[in-house]
Amino acid sequence: MHRTKLVNFIICMELPFSVMDHPMFTYWVTTGVNPLAQMISRRNFVRNCREKFKIEKHKLIESYKDITSFALILVVWTSSIGRAFMCLTTHYIDEN
């Protein structure tokens, strides 16, 4: 449970994997979040992220299996502070 929440947190906050190596992050997780938690290694964390990706990819594939046609729209832009963004949107009509 702890690993899943940690993976979700770092992905949702768009933090780099290197945050796992920072002493203050380790301190925050092991004292502030859950004193009983043990930090996982960066290598295991990356492995957990890849597993999460595969699960979410499978869910997405399953959700599209009955759709015969759809349109994809890809928009790429850069913010005023130079940060790049990409958004992929799918439009489709299902049976409902």
Q: Give the Cα separation of 40 and 47 in Å (integer).
A: 11
**What total of structural domains would you count in the chain?**
1
Residue 74 binned pLDDT confidence (cut-offs 50, 70, 90): very high
Q: How confident is the model at residue 83 (pLDDT cuts 50, 70, 90)?
A: confident
With b for 16 or more beta-carbon neighbours within 10 A and e for fewer, the 50-62 pattern comes to eeeeeeeeeeeee
Give the confidence band of 78 by pLDDT, cuts at 50, 70, 90. Answer: very high
* pTM: predicted TM-score of the whole model, two decimal places: 0.64
What is the domain extent for residue 65? 2-92
**pLDDT confidence of residue 54:** 94
d(CA 46, CA 53): 10
E strand segments, 1-96: 70-78, 84-92
Short-list 73, 88, 21, 63, CA closest to 10: 21
Each residue of 19-67: pLDDT tens digit?
A: 888 889 888 888 877 777 778 888 888 899 999 999 999 998 898 888 8
